[in-house]
A and B are shown apart, each in its own frame.
Chain A
Amino acid sequence: MTNEDLCYQTVGELSALIASRQVSPVELTRAYLERTEALNPTVSVVITLTRDHALRQAAAAEREIQLGRRRGPLHGIPYAVKDLYDTQGIRTTGGSTIYRDRVPDRDATAIERLNEAGAVLLAKLAMSEFASGGNNNNLIPHPRNPWKLDRSPAGSSSGSGAATAAALAGFTLGSETGGSIMGPSGANGVSGMRPTYGRVSRYGVMALAWSLDKAGPLARSAADLGLVLEVIAGHDPRDRTSRPNAAFTFRSDPGPVASRRLGVVRAEFEAVPEANRAVFANALAVLRRAGFVLEDVVLPDRPYGEVYTLISNTEAGTNFKPLFNDGRIIQFSSASRRADWMAASMMPASDYLTALRIRALLKREADEVTARYAALIAPTSPTGSGPIEPPDTPPRAGDLSDRSVRRLNTLGNLTGLPAISIPCGFDGEGMPLGLHIAARAWDDQSVLDVGMVFQRETDFHRRRPSFRP
């Protein structure tokens, strides 16, 4: 097996290789480090490479495994994280020059849990500044999409999406407020998961908007997402939003499919440009052939985008107030986003409460519609990823950031639904397209089941990017 073949294995496969002593954690870590050092100048996804730390963790894992003390499927598996997860003694920048030299004295809970599972931290990854989405970035050269280097890897978990696609780690962690795991997963042709809000602790994860932020994994298969989620999920009293029932036990067998109903958000499929429709029609046909019963679903006409924008901007404006007060916000890369945050913090509190009332209505409606189906299905984005454009460039029609198109995405983020994006084909320029699968709150297994069935029937998740200019 070549180093490239090794690096492109799924977590499940790597875990089996380690368990059977065909590959050691140190060998695997060196393979990923070598690949990262070779490819990072091309894709620009690493903010901090934790080489020495990784080799120490890999050596420790190797010793334990040799002694027969294997901790579980992530023991000895190298991973990388979006650079907003605090890592003790390793700088954590939030993708911002403002925190260029910030070194936390604690690990985020997710990092603690991965340490306990014996996983190996390789790198801190590029991201949109403060997870604010788009191409907001000025800390390192802008990350590039491995499928075509002049294309955006989307945001805000840009580095996590691109690094997973480029096989620079076994898996990565990202975070999502309004689409920041799902978008990069679709744009880079990888599998990514937004767990139910409250499932994964955000303790030690830099906040953007408290009532919307979620932490989750990106990987090269739906099954891998389940393996990682099982480790990072669980109640954490240090995060007030973490729920007592947050623990998750992954079931790798999706079980019988026959008669499980999927709700197809037809309006979002109809918003897909003609050139990409066959890809999504084929994806639905795959699910139908696998035995799912597909029914069209209409999401009510609600001001999803306005509610999301008001809540996220108000919370971000309050969160970043100290940076406005001391003037450091001048270093932030997007003038319009910065102004949105300030403008939102100037509005009457009654408007924020009105948005929270509409959110309560959306929650009621989301609970009703998701209760009827094993999952809801929509395109992650109607189009493949576009060019890398400077911050403050207005979104294209159908763009990843266009909330009028991605209704299921915005509803899911506002109401805390679990979702995954899995690769389902390519557009005419060879850019990946993703399928969005969401389910009722706390039924994270359902979205993984649908994803695993789809990936049993297709090989899009096995395709590798060409790194073409």
Chain B
Amino acid sequence: MNTNRREFTKLLGASAVAPLAAPAAGLTLWERAELEVQQTGEVSPELTRALLDAQGSRGIFEEPEHFEVLRAALARKIRDHRILRSFPLPADIEPLLNFEA
């Protein structure tokens, strides 16, 4: 599905996912997804679609069967990312952008 900027903005508005509408205000899509995983253990279909559209075409994930596998994968990723984000890193550590052994 192709989405222009105006449609995308509307989509975000529409995807003010009902149960999370109030706490989700002002958050990015990814932050909303994190909030959903924290509260419900999964990412809602609406928000998954919004994230999918933000990265480009939906492709095979338009199909319900593949879409559900993606939704589960997203929840796993978000849990992993929370672990990494909360890992205490010394301030002087820079990312290994150009990895060399």
Contacts and interface: CB of A to CB of B under 8 A. Distances in A.
Interface of A: 196-198, 211, 241, 243, 302-303, 306-307, 309-310, 313, 321, 324-325, 327, 329-330, 335-336, 338-340, 342-348, 351, 353-361, 363, 415-417, 441-442
A360 B95 contact: yes
12 contacts: A198-B101, A211-B96, A302-B87, A307-B84, A310-B81, A329-B60, A347-B81, A348-B30, A351-B81, A351-B84, A353-B95, A357-B95
Q: Which of B28, B51, B56, B101: most chain A Cβ within 10 A?
A: B101
Contacts of A243: 100-101
B69 A339 contact: yes
Interface in B59-94: 59-61, 66, 69-70, 72-74, 76-77, 80-81, 83-85, 87, 89-90, 93-94
Contacts of B85: 351, 354
Contact of A356 (B52, B66, B97, B100): B97
Nearest to A321: B56
A343 B96 contact: no
A360 B97 CA distance: 9
Contact of B80 (A310, A325, A360): A310
Contacts of A356: 95-97
Contact of B89 (A329, A348, A357, A416): A357
B38 interface: no
Contacts of A345: 55
Contact of B93 (A303, A347, A360): A360
Nearest to A240: B98
A313 B55 CA distance: 15
A25 B73 CA distance: 51
B27 to A, nearest CB: 12
Given A325-B56, A345-B55, A416-B99, A303 B84 contact: yes
A339 B70 contact: yes
Nearest to A323: B59
B57 interface: yes
B21 interface: no
SS class of chain B's interface: helix, strand, loop or mixed?
Answer: helix
A324 B54 CA distance: 14
Given A329-B60, A339-B70, A363-B96, A442 B101 contact: yes
B96 A306 contact: no
A303 B72 contact: no
Contact of B69 (A302, A336, A344, A361): A336
Given A329-B60, A339-B73, A358 B101 contact: no
A332 to B, nearest CB: 10
A442 B101 CA distance: 8
Contacts of B55: 342, 345-346
Nearest to B52: A346
B73 A336 contact: yes
Nearest to A415: B101
Nearest to A337: B73
The 5 residue pairs across chains A and B that have the minimum distance between CB atoms: A416-B101, A356-B95, A339-B73, A441-B101, A343-B73
A335 B73 CA distance: 10
A306 B80 contact: yes
Contacts of A344: 77
B101 A342 contact: no
B74 to A, nearest CB: 5
A343 B80 contact: no
A344 B76 CA distance: 10
Interface string B7-41: 00000000000000000000010100000000000
Contacts of A346: 30, 51-52, 54-55, 74
B77 A343 contact: yes
A353 B97 CA distance: 8
A76 to B, nearest CB: 33
A313 B87 CA distance: 19
A415 to B, nearest CB: 7
Nearest to B72: A339
Contacts of B89: 354, 357-358, 361
Contact of A329 (B51, B59, B95, B99): B59
A352 B52 CA distance: 18
B61 to A, nearest CB: 7
